[in-house]
């Protein structure tokens, strides 16, 4: 009998297939004692396993490229964390086997994360994955992960570690469903990059029996269990109609009455550029530069290395707009040479621009590298700072850009509510704003973007978040400056129309979402988008806001 479940749709498309579950986690190793004379050998085993897992994660990242590479390289750094390894060595010295020492050391660190105000709780899935891989290697058992299958399937998991998501084969994995996660979790972001339909935050997903046929709608978040032939036909017809609409929509982003809304791509490095170009991106709205800094957590990359990487991206968009975010380190992206190791709550500490202002040499080198990379190119370079809180932050960043001789527009990201509330003040120092809706929601609602239990507060349709977007866009309009959105909110085609109605001047998203947004935006006039935006802001919940906007745009 057909039943319907609802989670959070995070990646467009429809997938129909049999359920396959993610491989089970590694069993807890037995707690047996070893003689003192075996300690050195066990410590060697532990180090070899750690290095092998780190190398494997780095290799997977190299194959995946782009955002996935940055995530996986960060996991490799977790595996090689010196404090964790010291704890492992200590436990072996007092009699633990290598596998038990690794298990216990990671468990202790896991408890520390869970106790850090829960901000870091979203990293527990990453930590568990690294632990399981090391223990599996030490035990000589298969790695936990994506099931082996010759036939296409829908993958079900409690959560997906980045190492698994990054290398999913879209030819086999039709779509995936997770019990945890949220619309801005690592799994969601990588799913959109892959173009795989995905639904997250679906309680009880793990109870779906192996082999059950399900239909996954990554746009609505609906899961149809044992769908009828009629339901399959409806979903397949809708998917075909959507595909035809995508193929028919070409050219620059605009409403049906010609109001231009440039559609830009979010990229993590040169590896993401081909997909952005193929999708018809009009430029880059968010160039995350962290990928360069994750290769070695002990020191910043050289100016020469940075120049080479930046130029590859800039050259791909001649006479296009490329917005570069300077290094956003801290919180879930710690770097040994830059971020404090003892912050009780890294998300509320020295992160983003704060880190760079504390280390002006790192910021100066990056800005100088960007200036050199843009020399002789017709590209419209714009550079923005992450985690700007007020006018003083904006001024400090603009001054640093001028001192580095950077010929570009200087901007500020709006990720902290104070920046939205005081946007007009900030715009006295910079030339544009870019809304990072992922972090803006996180800080507005005190809801970690990686924790599935608070995913409803991470929904970008939340009216309070739309209010903050509107405040920023109105301030930019009053100052005659631009205000774009580069957070995941821009990848929702319906929400893209609402954002346009709020006064946002450009939209940036993962390349796979651009055709969907282009096709949807082209159906409606600017006036319709403005009415939809007003209806959404008048609602009291995210679901009501979405329904109200849909009603306006469908003419109901």
Tens digits of pLDDT across the chain (556 residues)? 678 999 988 888 899 999 988 876 666 888 888 998 999 999 999 999 999 888 888 887 777 676 667 777 777 888 888 888 999 999 999 999 999 999 999 888 877 765 544 434 456 667 788 888 898 888 877 666 777 677 899 999 888 776 676 667 878 899 989 988 777 666 777 777 777 899 998 988 888 988 899 999 988 899 999 999 999 999 888 888 777 777 777 889 999 999 999 999 999 888 889 989 989 999 999 999 988 887 666 788 999 999 999 999 999 998 889 999 999 987 666 677 787 777 777 778 888 999 999 999 999 999 999 999 999 999 999 999 999 999 999 999 999 999 999 999 999 999 999 999 999 999 999 999 999 998 999 999 998 866 667 778 888 999 999 999 999 999 999 999 999 999 879 988 999 999 999 999 999 998 888 998 999 999 999 999 999 999 999 999 998 999 999 999 988 7
Radius of gyration of the chain from Cα atoms? Answer: 24
Q: CB under 8 Å to 216, separation ≥6 — which residues?
A: 14, 15, 16, 154, 174, 175, 176, 177, 197, 198, 199, 222, 223
Instruction: List active site positions.
Output: 186, 486
CA pair distance 343, 358, nearest whole angstrom: 15
CA pair distance 431, 402, nearest whole angstrom: 13
- pLDDT recorded at residue 93: 93
Q: Distances in Å between the alpha carbon of 185 and those of 15, 70, 162, 207, 437? A: 21, 14, 10, 22, 13
- pLDDT recorded at residue 118: 40
For residue 458, give the H/E element and its range.
Answer: none
Cβ contact 20:217 at 8 Å: no
Q: How far does Cα 124 stand from its chain's mean position?
A: 16
CA pair distance 390, 416, nearest whole angstrom: 9
The 10s digit of each residue's pLDDT in 19-50 is 988 876 666 888 888 998 999 999 999 999 99
Question: Any idea which residue has 């082996």 for tokens?
Answer: 148
Alpha helices in 226-272 (DSSP H): 229-248
């Amino acid at each position: 009998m057909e039943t319907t479940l609802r989670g959070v749709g995070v990646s467009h498309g429809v997938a129909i297939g049999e359920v396959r579950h993610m491989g089970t986690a590694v069993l807890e190793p037995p707690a047996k004692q070893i003689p003192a004379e075996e300690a050195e050998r066990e410590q060697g085993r532990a180090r070899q396993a750690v290095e092998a897992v780190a190398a494997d994660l780095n290799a997977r990242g190299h194959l995946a490229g782009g955002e996935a590479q940055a995530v996986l390289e960060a996991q490799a750094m977790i595996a090689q964390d010196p404090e964790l390894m010291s704890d492992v060595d200590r436990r072996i010295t007092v009699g633990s086997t290598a596998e038990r020492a690794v298990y216990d050391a990671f468990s202790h660190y896991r408890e520390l994360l869970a106790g850090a105000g829960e901000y870091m709780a979203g990293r527990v899935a990453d930590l568990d994955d690294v632990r399981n891989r090391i223990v599996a290697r030490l035990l000589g058992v298969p790695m936990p992960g994506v099931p082996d299958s010759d036939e296409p399937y829908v993958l079900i998991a409690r959560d997906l570690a980045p190492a698994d998501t990054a290398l999913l084969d879209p030819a086999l994995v039709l779509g995936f469903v997770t019990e945890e996660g949220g619309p801005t979790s690592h799994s969601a972001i990588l799913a959109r990059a892959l173009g795989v339909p995905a639904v997250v935050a679906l309680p009880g997903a793990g109870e779906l029996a192996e082999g059950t046929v399900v239909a996954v709608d990554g746009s609505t978040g609906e899961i149809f269990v044992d769908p009828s032939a009629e339901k399959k036909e409806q979903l397949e017809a809708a998917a075909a109609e959507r595909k035809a609409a995508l193929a028919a929509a070409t050219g620059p982003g605009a409403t049906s009455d010609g109001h231009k809304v440039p559609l830009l791509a979010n990229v993590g490095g040169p590896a993401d550029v081909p997909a952005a170009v193929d999708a018809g991106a009009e430029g880059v709205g968010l160039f995350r530069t962290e990928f360069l800094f994750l290769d070695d957590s002990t020191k910043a990359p050289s100016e020469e290395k940075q120049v080479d990487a930046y130029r590859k991206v800039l050259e791909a968009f001649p006479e296009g707009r490329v917005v570069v975010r300077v290094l956003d380190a801290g919180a879930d992206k710690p770097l040994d040479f830059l971020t404090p190791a003892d912050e009780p709550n890294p998300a509320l500490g020295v992160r983003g621009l704060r880190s760079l202002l504390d280390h002006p040499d790192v910021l100066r080198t990056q800005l100088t590298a960007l200036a050199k990379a843009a020399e002789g190119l017709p590209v419209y370079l714009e550079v923005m700072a992450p985690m700007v809180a007020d006018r003083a932050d904006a001024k400090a960043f603009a001054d640093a850009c001028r001192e580095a001789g950077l010929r570009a527009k200087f901007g500020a990201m709006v990720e902290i509510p104070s920046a939205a509330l005081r946007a007009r003040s900030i715009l006295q120092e910079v030339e544009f704003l870019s809304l990072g809706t992922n972090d803006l929601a996180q800080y507005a609602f005190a809801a970690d973007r990686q924790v599935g239990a608070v995913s409803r507060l991470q929904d970008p349709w939340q009216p309070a978040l739309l209010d903050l977007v509107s405040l920023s866009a109105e301030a930019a309009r009053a100052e005659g400056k631009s205000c774009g959105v580069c957070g995941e909110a821009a990848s929702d085609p319906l929400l893209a129309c609402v954002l346009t109605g709020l006064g946002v001047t450009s939209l940036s998203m993962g390349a796979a979402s651009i055709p969907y947004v282009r096709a949807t935006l082209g159906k409606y006039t600017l006036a319709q988008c403005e009415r939809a935006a007003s209806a959404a802001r008048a609602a009291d919940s995210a679901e009501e806001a979405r329904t109200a906007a849909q009603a306006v745009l469908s003419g109901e």
